[in-house]
Amino acid sequence: MNIWMEMLIIALIGTLGNSLFKIGTDGFGELSFESFFTREFFEKAFTSKFGWIIFVSLTINFVSRMLIMSPLSKGKYGIVWSILTPLGILFSIGTGYLLFHETYTIRELLGVSLAVASVWLMGQ
């Protein structure tokens, strides 16, 4: 498989893991930094379905990170990461719009367009 296809698949797997992480996080409600150090948080994290969704998301993200070893072993470090990051941005914006019904400003979409342009430029 060529390096571009690998990076595309890896970015999609990472987006799946990140989306599940958002779903799991939403199940906890709004969290403060201090709430992570409470007994209630740990009880909910290990007994609720949202804790399990987060566990699955972390597992998927771990698989994604392991798969990154393949393009990293074939390509330049700076280029591989500089392509994976904008792909992740693009897929995350799409998922945010379709799954979470988020809206984006023109300025934010311009930023995504620049990220896509960077992938195109580096791929030449």
The reported pLDDT for the residue numbered 124 is 64
Instruction: Please report, for the chain, the start and end positions of each structural domain, with discontinuous segments joined by +.
Output: 3-122
Per-residue model confidence as pLDDT tens digits over 45-74:
888 889 899 999 999 999 999 999 999 999
SS (H, E, C) 79-122: HHHHHHHHHHHHHHHHHHHHHHCCCCCHHHHHHHHHHHHHHHHH
Rounded-to-integer distance, Cα 42 and Cα 57, Å: 17
pLDDT at 116: 86
> pLDDT averaged over the chain?
92
Task: Check residue 29 and give its pLDDT.
Answer: 86
95, HSE (Cβ side, Cα atoms, 13 Å): 19
Amino acid at site 3: I
Q: Is the dihedral of CA 95, 96, 100, 105 positive or negative?
A: negative
Over range 81-85, report the average pLDDT: 89
